Amino acid sequence: MAATSASVSTVREHNLSLVLNLIRDAGSISRADIIRETRLSPTAVSALVNLLLESGFVEEAGVGQSSGGRRPILLRFNYGLRDVLSVDIGASHLNVIAMDLRGRIIARRYCKHDVINDPHGTIRRVIDMIGETLAEANLQVHQVLGIGVTIPTPLDGPQLDRMITYYMPAWEGIGPGEEIRKVYDLPIYLDNDANAGAMAEKWWGSGKEYSSLAFIKLGVGVGAGLIIDGQVYRGYNGAAGEIGHTTIEPNGRLCRCGNYGCMEAYVGGPGLVEAVRSDRRDAGLPPLPESELSVETIVDLALQGDPICRQVVVNAGHYLGVAVANLINLINPGLIVFGGELTGAGDLLFDAVRETVQKRVLPLNRQPVELVTTTMGEDVVAIGAATLALQNAFLPNKLPETLGLVERR
């Protein structure tokens, strides 16, 4: 049976992706080595390399060593040709970055914003921040491969491109990706914040050498991004990783999800604030000004020796440790990375986490698992979102568009 044009196109896309990723990963490589590594024919490799050279994403890089005969011309990936953008939409902040193809931030805009209750104002501010970031990076829109956008909720829909607005009812019917696309005609890739954090760690951070890891984001809510066998694990309908809603006290505090005893009710921002408020009241102490009650303030006071704030942080560490032990016993990751304001408590928090984990994990799981904080600070999610755009741009089905072989759909 003759191959259809669609199947021929699919094979070419696959082979293009194979050769391009090989060149990128190798640093520099000859055509002969590409033929040997891919087992494609010399004719096929020559045609594919010519397309990549014409696109500008691959360039010649001098000559290599000869084993006899003519010295081979080396090829390398052109990291300077394009950049990516990302928008980290948090519950109470916005972070927009431009990132080069090596994972380096080249421009950034950050601000606090009441995202949960102000969707239209959020979209307007994001649009402005993207423009400011492009100007700072001296970029034109056509120089950008795409925009990764993260949100602090799970995703829904056949393409996992819709927000679940249970925690953000004001956003019902509003799609941040769609709104951004109206102004900036670029590919938009949407994911939740914890998944993006996990991707950042896998590509650029502590997780580069791990095939299975978890990233736990401690914020207003608590979520986990899971990397299993090198890929983000999303579950049956995209809601994997909701570690904040695992039960640690069956008859415990009411959670914003409507259940009782969720870990998030003890470790998420509102739970920590309520614990400090309640414990000060029980101790007969005057309340802290509401404007000062935040995770950042609680961490600062705890590190300064405030006994109530210290105990709240330690208690949060033990509750977090229960959930982490369950996660370790369930998926056996080699690494768990933590991000978010609460990680600023350092050993005060993580000594309690480690103590509880050691008590509750199976003996065979105790030693191999590393527990670390992210080295990317508050940019980890934005870096992951930019990585989402980078990864998608070079998928086989997107590559012809990225290389300029077809018009953008």
pLDDT higher than 90, residue 154:
no
CATH number at residue 90: 3.30.420.40
133 found inside a domain: yes
Q: Are residues 211 and 353 in the same domain?
A: yes
Residues 172 and 310 in one domain: no
Q: 343 and 253: one domain?
A: yes
Residues 316, 255, single domain; the answer is: yes
CA distance 300 to 379: 21
CATH number at residue 66: 1.10.10.10
| Whether residues 111 and 71 fall in one domain | no
Domain boundary (77, 103, 121) is at: 77
C-alpha span between 145 and 77 (Å, rounded): 15
pLDDT digits (tens, 9 = 90+) for 266-308: 999 999 999 999 999 999 999 888 877 899 999 999 999 999 9
- Which of 16, 43, 77 terminates a domain? The answer is 77
Q: Which residue has the tokens 């940019």?
A: 379
Q: Strand pairing partners for 216?
A: 224, 338
pLDDT by residue (tens digit) across 313-331? 999 999 999 999 999 999 9
Which of residues 48, 77, 106 is at a domain's end? 77
Residue 342 covered by a domain: yes
Looking at the structure, tell me whether residues 111 and 214 fall in a common domain.
no
pLDDT tens string 15-71: 999 999 999 999 999 999 999 999 999 999 999 999 999 999 999 998 878 776 788
Is it the case that residue 116 has pLDDT exceeding 90? yes
Which pLDDT value is given to residue 156? 79
Q: Tokens 């490589």 map to which residue?
A: 29
One domain for residues 143 and 240: no
CA nearest 190: which of 269, 126, 270, 120?
A: 126
Residue 124 in any domain: the answer is yes
Beta strands in 90-156 (DSSP E): 93-100, 105-112, 144-151, 155-156
* 65 and 159 assigned to the same domain: no
Does a structural domain hold residue 279? yes
Residue 408 lies in a domain: no
Output the pLDDT for position 407. 63
For residue range 193-221, list pLDDT tens digits in order: 999 999 999 999 999 999 999 999 999 99
Does a structural domain hold residue 199? no
Percent of the residues in the chain that have a pLDDT greater than 90, as a whole number: 83
Is residue 48 domain-resident?
yes
Shared domain for 216 and 292, answered yes or no, is yes
- Which residues form the domain of 180? 83-193+382-402
Q: Domain check: are 73 and 87 in the same one?
A: no
Q: How many domains, the chain?
A: 3
Mean pLDDT of 348-355: 97
pLDDT-above-70 percentage for the chain:
96
pLDDT at 59: 95
Predicted local distance difference test score (pLDDT) of residue 5: 60
Q: Are residues 331 and 235 in the same domain?
A: yes
Task: Place 4 in a pLDDT band, splitting at 50, 70 and 90.
Answer: low
Structural domain contains residue 201: no
Sheet bearing 73-77, strands edge to edge: 29-30, 73-77, 58-63
User: Which residues pair with residue 215 across a beta bridge?
Assistant: 225, 337
- The verdict on 236 and 362 lying in the same domain is yes
Cβ neighbour number for residue 175 with a 10 Å cutoff: 18
